[in-house]
Structure 1
Amino acid sequence: MSDSEFDQIFPLGEKNDAYAQYFVGQSYLAPLAPGSVPVSNVSFEPGCRNNWHIHHGSDGGGDQILLCTAGSGWYQAEGDDPVSMEPGSVIHVSAGTKHWHGAKQDSWFSHLALITPGADVRNEWLEPVTDEAYGRLQTAVTGPPRSS
């Protein structure tokens, strides 16, 4: 699918081959703004999701902000209920929170991703979200994320 077929306001970008090992399915990455707070548009084909992961950092760094811009997706922090993301949804992920995000089974999904700058900012990739766990989300009751 080309970005002209998936209606979104930011470019689809290139296949996210550099991080493919951390995704189930195909994702795309479009860097939008470099600098101390780089911004990227991340797009997911239907059913695509990233592995569980943790953003680390100190001195205010390592928080992730997800701004849903198109399609429909999921966000889930470990121990919390899944959250349905639609255009306009904003998720704040505190540094140190184990989480994942990705498209719903029947929808493309895009979000802008930002990481707050600070000391020792890094990402720790963990295990994939299993097909069984992901499949249960299609009928999950969703609600707002808990404060973290």
Structure 2
Amino acid sequence: MDTEKMKQDLGGGSVFEIGEPNTAFAQYFIGQSYLKMLTTERVGVGNVTFEPGCRNNWHIHHKGGQILLVTGGRGWYQEWGKPAQELHAGDVVNIPPEVKHWHGAAKDSWFQHLAIEVPAEGASNEWLEEVSDEEYGKLK
């Protein structure tokens, strides 16, 4: 881990602890991510940190949806069939249930967000295909 680059990209460091390598979900990511669950009581909130170029697969949150609070770096969010949106610290992304999407770091920057799982009865995640290198490579 290039901690100096990470600190620079995240605006001097991380507000929340980076956490451990995200091995539990590694099969759904291209590149290295880190996860620190901040709370699992009532509402799950995780601090997710992406190394440059890291992104998760396309996925769908059934029932509850998800909210992303960007805390540092530069990254991307994209919904199926729509152009990707560049993300920076302070951005908020409200992801409705049943929307196919992905999110992750820019090629040249660390990226960090708080991922909030919106509670709902029967809520689940469906992990889908990878974001192709060709697709990702078109982003600036």
Do the aligned residues in 2 keep the contact of 1:47 with 1:106 (CA within 8 Å)?
A: yes
> 1:17 matched to which residue of 2?
23
TM (norm. structure 1) is 0.87
- Aligned position for 1:141: none
Q: How does 1:86-97 map to 2 (within 5 A)?
A: 86-97=88-99
Tell me the secondary structure at the aligned position of residue 40 of structure 1. Answer: strand
Deviation at 1:115, TM superposition (A): 1.2
Identity among equivalent positions (%) equals 54
How many residues end up aligned between the 2 structures? 134
After the TM superposition, list the runs of 4 or more consecutive aligned residues in structure 1 that deviate by more than 3 angstroms. Answer: 2-5
Deviation of the 1:80 alpha carbon: 1.2
Partner residue, 1:29: 35
Structure 1 runs not aligned, ≥5 long: 139-148
Matches within 5 A, 1:60-139: 62-138=64-140
Measured in 1, the distance between the counterparts of 2:74 and 2:17 equals: 17
Q: Deviations over 1:32-85 (max 9, x none)?
A: 11212111100000000000000001xxxx220000001000000001111111
| Residue 55 (str. 1) matches residue 61 (str. 2) | yes
| Gap regions ≥5 residues in structure 2 | 8-12
Normalised TM-score (structure 2): 0.92
Look up the equivalent residue of 1:12 and give its one-letter code: I
**Alpha-carbon distance between aligned partners in 1 of 2:112 and 2:103, rounded to the nearest angstrom:** 10
Q: Could you say what the CA RMSD is over the residues aligned between the two structures, in angstroms?
A: 1.2
Shift of 1:118: 1.1
Matched to 2:47, the amino acid is N
